[in-house]
Structure 1
Amino acid sequence: MSEMREQIFLSLHPERTEFYRWADDRLIQAIVEKPGQGSLAGGVYLGRVLRVEQSLNAAFVEIGLDKPGLLPLKRQGAQPTEGDAVIVQVRRDGREEKGVRLTTSVKVPVDVVALAKGKQPPAQLIAPPTVWHTALEALAPEQVASIICDRRVDVAPVADWCRKHRRGMEDKVAFLPDREWVPSRTDIKERVAEALDEEVVLPGGGKLLIEPVRTLTAIDVNSAAATAEKGFERTALSVNLEAAREIPRQLALRNLGGIIVIDFIDLENRNKREQVLEALRQAVGIDPAIEWVGNMSRLGLVELLRRRAGPTLAEMWQGQNG
């Protein structure tokens, strides 16, 4: 787990929610959400089974969205049939042509059966958690130094939520108008602009090329920008180590999910490959959404899996002004 003490900046306006994590003079996470644009994960619905696909061992369930959700049946109890009403929770947001992923294993501290009584599907029973709820729930209280709200009226509700859901954070909530934020909004926006670039220059001169495609995200590590002007030649190991420490931060900041394939610079020495892999596994502590890190192949390839949650940074920032 990272030892950095993080500052959280919150702007909870009706027309737009902003959440920023800042540590060690760097932006770690940036979320901007307008009403209706956020993640549906965690929402609970009374849905209607449209059809059961035996070949997929899954059912398609209408919950009131443009596309039906997919409900895997492998671990379900009684098998639903077409037309059945089912209570489901969104496990994963939809992407492109795919609908949301659903489960009947609903995890909420209320009686959802009582909520569904008298309702006709499709109907929302519990709204998805707000973006700042989800973001704060993913963090350990000890890693957060402060939670700064840009409106005084938001301090009490945020502190009350922390008291109920993230005890230990409630005394860290404070008001500070955004004109007094350090970093400033201008600083934050500059860092966001950097994170929208597909290239990342590492401190020692190496470079990352980050290319999200439809099925995965490919990250190429290279030493093409290694700094000859500094008077020494960067080794493949040192560039790879810098990349391993930087990649989890970039994934969190850009909110890139799914399968990530990292192509490190080739290392013939097995011990050096293990050193890079260990650096990567230590660095992922900064990002609670990273669920799995694989081994490194002889060619320097490493796969990892990051949980999808809402739109990417590029999608969030598209069309944003101010």
Structure 2
Amino acid sequence: MANKCTIEHAIGETRAAILYKNKPVEYHLRRWSDEGLPRAGDIFAGRVTKVDKQLMAAFVDLGAGEPGLLRFAMTPNAPRLTEGQMILVRIVRDAEAHKGPLVEFTAKSEVDKPGPQKTGTLDEFIAARFPGISIEEGPVDGIDYVTDTEVALKNGGFIYIEHTRAGTMIDIDTAGGQKTKVSIAAAKEIASQLRLRGIGGLIVIDFPNFRKKKDRADVWQTLQDCLNNDPNITKIAPFSRFDTVEMTRSKSGLTIGQIMLDASGEPSVETLALRGLRRLEKEARVDGGARLVLQLPQKAYDWLQSGVILWEQPLAERIGARFKLVSGDKLDVFKDEK
């Protein structure tokens, strides 16, 4: 369910919040540094580099990023593929760490060089995912808070979300509360967090041990009912003997955490740099005449100076050429007194 989208075209990234009754239910994030890389829904011309009969798949050079994986079972309409052949493919799922994008065959290609043939903006992606949705420009700040591993429940208790290469593990801490009440609240929050964060694949939820079958059934049904509102495909297994629930959720893109965090789970250098630019722009709009200084930790400072994205001219067009960048111990914005 969704009835409105707020989208923010910031320097270095575009953020979107899908709202239902003015409450965020889904976030999306795209960054300038990833422009040109294959995204779900894009059409690319690709060259078949390898046909693996054991995997029943082919690897396709897309001209950018990791080779795409084309599974024969997913594209029964594909002709017999040969190495070196040029084909058109649709990106089904974005690339992840150690994995290239998943692609499907659409047609033979008359293009002789791999590369994008049809791509879309985040605005277009949202409009296609939610036909008829109202899209308006505005700040999207809540996305910064959906990468925390700990989520507090309103009436007590916590859920902990941890990611591994095999899947996502979710643990519930009742914090001394009544098991069934906390677990029902947790089931509702888990369904919400999965969608907000864009989590997919295998998910294992570790609930407290229940004495009564009815309590277990009530918790499971709550989770099922809440997931019914999810536009992605979800499948839930029954409770195991150890009071865990395994489920899967389809996904086509990276999670918010995969985009914003580094391998250690901390904000990436790029995230810190773009966070600084957003804060600088906000401060400049509040104080229209001041010359401002953006101070960033050294690694974030170096990232902006490296030219990965061209940010200075677009920022100057928004707030004027009245800022400078320095390195320091922490992120800060202050007036230039010189």
The TM-score with structure 2 as length reference comes to 0.69
Residue in structure 1 matched with residue 14 of structure 2 by the alignment: 17
Residue in structure 2 matched with residue 68 of structure 1 by the alignment: 67
Output the CA distance in 2 between the equivalents of 1:131 and 1:296.
38
Residue in structure 2 matched with residue 133 of structure 1 by the alignment: 124
Residue in structure 2 matched with residue 96 of structure 1 by the alignment: 97
User: Would the alpha carbon gap of residues 30 and 286 (structure 1) be closer, same or farther in structure 2, given more than 3 Å must change?
Assistant: same
User: Conserved in 2, the CA contact under 8 Å of 1:266 and 1:298?
Assistant: no
Residue in structure 2 matched with residue 27 of structure 1 by the alignment: 24
251-260 or 9-18, larger mean C-alpha shift:
9-18
Residue in structure 2 matched with residue 221 of structure 1 by the alignment: 172
Spell out the pairing of 1:31-110 with structure 2 (5 A cutoff): 31-37=28-34, 40-74=39-73, 75-76=75-76, 77-104=78-105, 106=106
Output the CA distance in 1 between the equivalents of 2:40 and 2:233.
16
User: Would the alpha carbon gap of residues 25 and 63 (structure 1) be closer, same or farther in structure 2, given more than 3 Å must change?
Assistant: closer
Number of matched pairs: 261
Amino acid corresponding to residue 121 of structure 1 in structure 2: K
Q: Does 1:247 align with 2:190?
A: yes
User: Would the alpha carbon gap of residues 135 and 215 (structure 1) be closer, same or farther in structure 2, given more than 3 Å must change?
Assistant: farther
Amino acid corresponding to residue 136 of structure 2 in structure 1: I
Compute the displacement of 1:20 (Å): 1.2
User: Conserved in 2, the CA contact under 8 Å of 1:248 and 1:286?
Assistant: no
User: Would the alpha carbon gap of residues 300 and 140 (structure 1) be closer, same or farther in structure 2, given more than 3 Å must change?
Assistant: farther
Output the CA distance in 2 between the equivalents of 1:85 and 1:204.
57
User: Would the alpha carbon gap of residues 299 and 31 (structure 1) be closer, same or farther in structure 2, given more than 3 Å must change?
Assistant: same
Compute the displacement of 1:34 (Å): 2.2
22-31 or 280-289, larger mean C-alpha shift:
22-31
Spell out the pairing of 1:181-192 with structure 2 (5 A cutoff): 185=139, 189=141, 191-192=142-143
Residue in structure 2 matched with residue 310 of structure 1 by the alignment: 253
Q: Does 1:148 align with 2:136?
A: yes
Output the CA distance in 1 between the equivalents of 2:114 and 2:87.
9
User: CA deviation digits over 1:149-204, x for unaligned, max 9?
Assistant: 2xxxxxxxxxxxxxxxxxxxxxxxxxxxx4xxxxxx4xx53x43432221111112
Residue in structure 1 matched with residue 302 of structure 2 by the alignment: none
Instruction: Provide the secondary structure at the position in 1 that maps to 2:189.
Output: helix
Residue in structure 2 matched with residue 291 of structure 1 by the alignment: 234
User: Would the alpha carbon gap of residues 277 and 134 (structure 1) be closer, same or farther in structure 2, given more than 3 Å must change?
Assistant: farther
Output the CA distance in 1 between the equivalents of 2:244 and 2:95.
28
User: Would the alpha carbon gap of residues 196 and 66 (structure 1) be closer, same or farther in structure 2, given more than 3 Å must change?
Assistant: closer
Compute the displacement of 1:25 (Å): 6.1
Task: Report the identity percentage.
Answer: 27
User: Would the alpha carbon gap of residues 12 and 66 (structure 1) be closer, same or farther in structure 2, given more than 3 Å must change?
Assistant: closer
User: Conserved in 1, the CA contact under 8 Å of 2:12 and 2:33?
Assistant: no
Instruction: Identify which of 224, 227, 234 aligns with 1:281.
Output: 224
Amino acid corresponding to residue 172 of structure 2 in structure 1: V
Compute the displacement of 1:29 (Å): 2.4
Instruction: Identify which of 106, 111, 122 aligns with 2:114.
Output: 122
User: Conserved in 2, the CA contact under 8 Å of 1:267 and 1:298?
Assistant: no
Compute the displacement of 1:218 (Å): 0.3
User: Conserved in 2, the CA contact under 8 Å of 1:42 and 1:90?
Assistant: yes
Output the CA distance in 1 between the equivalents of 2:50 and 2:129.
35
Q: Which runs of 5+ in 2 are unaligned?
A: 261-270, 279-338
Q: Does 1:238 align with 2:239?
A: no
User: CA deviation digits over 1:96-151, x for unaligned, max 9?
Assistant: 111111111x3xxxxx66xx43x203132212x3223333433365xx6x5322xx
Output the CA distance in 2 between the equivalents of 1:25 and 1:45.
36
User: Conserved in 2, the CA contact under 8 Å of 1:70 and 1:101?
Assistant: yes
Output the CA distance in 2 between the equivalents of 1:316 and 1:60.
25
Instruction: Provide the secondary structure at the position in 2 that maps to 1:288.
Output: coil
- Higher RCO structure (Cα 8 Å, ≥6 apart): 1
275-284 or 292-301, larger mean C-alpha shift:
292-301
User: Conserved in 2, the CA contact under 8 Å of 1:290 and 1:304?
Assistant: no
Output the CA distance in 1 between the equivalents of 2:224 and 2:131.
18
